[in-house]
Amino acid sequence: AQSVTQPDIHITVSEGASLELRCNYSYGATPYLFWYVQSPGQGLQLLLKYFSGDTLVQGIKGFEAEFKRSQSSFNLRKPSVHWSDAAEYFCAVDGGRGATNKLIFGTGTLLAVQP
Amino acid sequence: GAVVSQHPSWVICKSGTSVKIECRSLDFQATTMFWYRQFPKQSLMLMATSNEGSKATYEQGVEKDKFLINHASLTLSTLTVTSAHPEDSSFYICSAPDSLRDYGYTFGSGTRLTVV
């Protein structure tokens, strides 16, 4: 069965520091991978997605993610974190490609940014 | 880009009453709508998938008589929580495949339901 694991429940970084949020997936074929951000009480905003091609994907707000098939990972990175980046981040995989096209989400990583 | 408008943003209701949540696709046709439920500090769990003009498909463990889903048009899907109880209190989010943006999903802003 498809699954997504985000090992870090909660991460705190200093403003201006670099950030890496981990995501590992289990999927039998080439996955479609997504990173979403959610502010408190809000819906989800797409940061970036990977379908195929270049394994380094650029997203909005200065985020990027790298797909590593050998490690079944799709880690999210940002070179310099801003206070406004504090939010919850979800990694997701398209669990039904060609069938139901439904997203399977990881448990999320809550990012806190300290001054 | 594609927008899914979800209403209400929050609602408080009494136990035993029913609550309807609407999701509208504003600038595209949503033939499919996914409904998620999110408990505090947890991830999104898919409840059901609705398809325009047909019955919704519910995930295992989701009571279809409790969570009524209707997708009567290409721009509107509704979730009705019937005979609500405090344990139904949660954050509900809808999502539609976004064909305008080269695949991907557009999410509504969510509905915070509190049953008292």
Query: What is the structure's pLDDT at B40?
Result: 79
- CB < 8 Å to A101, chain B: 32, 97
For residue A11, give Cα distances in angstroms to A27, A68, A89, B45, B55: 26, 22, 11, 22, 41
| Cα–Cα distance, A35 to A105 (Å, whole number) | 9
Query: What is the structure's pLDDT at B112?
Result: 94
Contacts of B91 (CB under 8 A, 6+ apart): A41, B37, B38, B39, B40, B110, B111, B112, B113
Unique residue bearing structure tokens 């995501």? A23
Query: If you average pLDDT over residues A80-104, what whole number do you get?
Result: 82
- B88: distance to nearest CA of chain A, Å? 17
What average pLDDT is seen over chain A?
A: 90
Chain segment A11-60, per-residue pLDDT in tens: 999 999 999 999 999 877 778 899 999 988 788 899 999 988 889 999 99
- B12: distance to nearest CA of chain A, Å? 15
| Cα–Cα distance, B93 to A102 (Å, whole number) | 14
Query: What is the structure's pLDDT at A23?
Result: 97
Query: What is the structure's pLDDT at B27?
Result: 84
8 Å CB contact of A44 and B95: yes
Query: What is the structure's pLDDT at A27?
Result: 79
In which element (H, E) is residue B10 found?
A: strand B10-13
Is residue A99 scored above 70 in pLDDT?
Answer: no
Averaged over successive runs of 10 residues, the pLDDT of chain B (116 residues) comes to: 90 97 91 90 89 90 95 93 96 85 79 96
Q: For residues B114 and B12, is the Cβ–Cβ distance under 8 A?
A: yes
Confidence of residue A82 (pLDDT cuts 50, 70, 90): very high
> Most A CBs within 10 Å: which of B44, B47, B98, B101, as the mutation test of the A interface?
B44
Is residue A98 scored above 50 in pLDDT?
Answer: no
> CA-nearest residue of chain B to A100?
B49
Length of chain A: 115
For residue B40, give the nearest of B96, B114, B105 by alpha carbon: B114
For residue B24, give the nearest of B56, B81, B72 by alpha carbon: B72
3-class SS at A84? helix
Q: For residues B13 and B105, is the Cβ–Cβ distance under 8 A?
A: no
